[in-house]
């Protein structure tokens, strides 16, 4: 899952006025009078048996049985290709009606998306959890509808902790380092997993920034990548974790999240940052694990990272009314909870969130859910974020190498971020 933190983008050409629906035929494949909606979505499964395709096909058939005259054509792609697939479709003038992907801001800035109030009912709009919904805004107009969310916690291997004589999860960086030292002494291959490779670099980077009292942006939405707090955070990681051999034999700059998740499930990792789906993987591996709030520089981190994936509606085919009808159906409590519960993700609506909190089958998700209201997200509303994120993936790993210079590298990323912001205005 890609997600993401926000607020404060300027972009010309964003449509804010409501548009009347243009009810044009969607192609000769549909029965006469039917409107066919093309939906492109990301796959949250890790094998064919739990592919998201099954959820979307079932939902589509259920919707079609209740809404005669609207057909849903579903295409599901892996996370490694879905964003590019949609971008290519849009560039070719063949935008889908609905896309469930990782980012919306570029399309919103280009005036290609319907706004939320042009699509969905007031009750559906009001049901979104406010901090997450605001993350979908451009110029205070919502274009990105949150689809699912997650937060991050510290995961630890209980058996390895017992072997190393560690009584409880660390709450501070000093305690985290001390625990990592004990794990290393006990023969643990990777005392602390640090994925700064291209798959997870922006998320892992943000977690350390938040734990150190920093972040990607300030309250006004301005980039603060090279703040003193962020520089100090990565100097600490360089010197106290990587420099002391506490992150395992691999290079963090080339280490991806899923590789560490797999190693954690094999019992090779003592601690790492993780999201709810790691619980399912660990349980499938019959691993004894625990979760705890993120350790911070002087105590538990004031906030954690929240991630949202997005669903959006393109204006090209003029199917505003039909898209809105489908999205209202998608975000009913039962349908939304069905998807999030299946993939150990967090709901983005108050009704589904409340239902999850009352159902003991989701009890292990409650700590992640409790963090959601105060979580910090990627600046996903910035059209510059995609380029900034790519730069972070390329460069951040170097800051924790022996000769790494956090001030220089973060300063370079900051300058590039500011230049991209100016160019996008």
List, for residues 192-209, the tens digit of each pLDDT value.
999 999 888 999 999 999
Task: Please give the Cα distance from 127 to 333 (Å, whole number).
Answer: 10
Residue 276 tokens read as: 């709810």
pLDDT number for residue 243: 97
pLDDT at 20 over 50: no
pLDDT number for residue 112: 97
pLDDT number for residue 33: 57
- 242-279 pLDDT, tens per residue? 999 999 999 999 999 999 999 999 999 999 999 998 99
- 220-243 pLDDT, tens per residue? 889 999 999 999 999 999 999 999
Average pLDDT in the 22-50 region? 69
pLDDT at 17 over 70: no
Using CA atoms, how far residue 99 sits from 163, 213, 376, in Å, is: 47, 35, 24
Tell me which of 15-29, 47-61, 250-264, 348-362 is least confident.
Answer: 15-29
Q: Look over the chain and give the mean of its residue pLDDT values, rounded to a whole number.
A: 90
Q: Burial code of 179-194, b = ≥16 C-beta within 10 A, e = fewer?
A: bbbbbbebebbbbbbb
pLDDT number for residue 299: 95
Reported as a pLDDT band with limits 50, 70 and 90, residue 382 is confident
For β-strands 35-42 and 98-101, DSSP reports them as parallel
Query: Considering only CA atoms, which of 243, 233, 244, 274 is closest in space to residue 183?
Result: 244
Q: Which residues are within 8 A (CB) of 109 and not within 5 positions of it... i.e. 6 or more apart?
A: 9, 11, 12, 13, 14, 138, 383, 424
pLDDT number for residue 27: 37
Domains in the chain with CATH codes: 35-149+307-374 (3.40.190.10), 153-304+384-424 (3.40.190.10)
Tell me which of 281-290, 382-391, 400-409 is least confident.
Answer: 382-391
Q: Are 308 and 146 in contact (CB under 8 A)?
A: yes
State what percent of residues in the chain have pLDDT above 70: 92
């Amino acid at each position: 899952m890609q997600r993401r933190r926000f607020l404060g983008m300027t972009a010309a050409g964003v449509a804010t006025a409501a548009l009347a629906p243009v009810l044009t035929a969607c192609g000769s494949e549909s029965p006469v009078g039917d409107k066919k909606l093309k939906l492109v979505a990301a796959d949250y499964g890790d094998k064919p048996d739990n592919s998201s395709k099954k959820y979307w096909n079932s939902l589509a058939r259920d919707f079609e049985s209740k809404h005669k005259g609207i057909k849903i054509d579903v295409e599901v792609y892996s996370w490694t290709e879905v964003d590019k697939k949609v971008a290519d479709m849009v560039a070719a003038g063949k935008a889908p009606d609905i896309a469930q992907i990782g980012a919306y801001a570029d399309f919103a800035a280009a005036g290609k998306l319907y706004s939320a109030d042009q699509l969905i009912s007031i009750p559906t709009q009001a049901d979104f959890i406010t901090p997450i919904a605001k993350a979908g805004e451009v110029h205070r107009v919502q274009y990105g509808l949150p689809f699912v969310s997650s937060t991050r916690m510290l995961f630890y291997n209980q058996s390895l902790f017992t072997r190393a004589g560690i009584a409880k999860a660390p709450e501070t960086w000093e305690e985290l380092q001390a625990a990592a030292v004990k794990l290393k002494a006990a023969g643990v291959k990777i005392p602390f997993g640090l994925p700064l490779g291209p798959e997870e670099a922006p998320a892992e980077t943000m977690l350390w920034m938040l734990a150190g009292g920093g972040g990607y942006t300030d309250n006004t939405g301005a980039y603060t990548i090279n703040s003193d707090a962020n520089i100090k955070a990565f100097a600490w990681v360089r010197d106290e974790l990587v420099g002391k051999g506490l992150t395992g034999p691999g290079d963090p700059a080339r280490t991806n999240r899923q590789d560490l998740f797999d190693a954690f499930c094999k019992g090779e990792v003592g601690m790492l940052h993780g999201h709810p789906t790691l619980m399912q993987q660990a349980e499938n591996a019959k691993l004894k694990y625990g979760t705890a709030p993120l350790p911070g520089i002087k105590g538990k981190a004031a906030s954690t990272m929240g991630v949202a994936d997005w669903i959006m509606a393109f204006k090209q085919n003029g199917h505003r009314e039909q898209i809105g009808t489908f999205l209202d159906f998608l975000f009913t409590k039962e349908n939304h909870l069905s998807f999030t519960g299946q993939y150990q993700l967090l709901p983005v609506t108050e009704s589904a969130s409340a239902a999850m909190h009352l159902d003991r089958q989701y009890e292990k998700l409650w700590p992640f859910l409790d963090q959601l209201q105060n979580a910090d997200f990627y600046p996903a509303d910035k059209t510059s974020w995609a380029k900034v994120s790519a730069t972070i993936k390329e460069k951040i790993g170097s800051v924790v190498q022996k000769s790494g210079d956090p001030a220089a590298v973060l300063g370079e990323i900051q300058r590039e971020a500011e230049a991209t912001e100016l160019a996008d205005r």
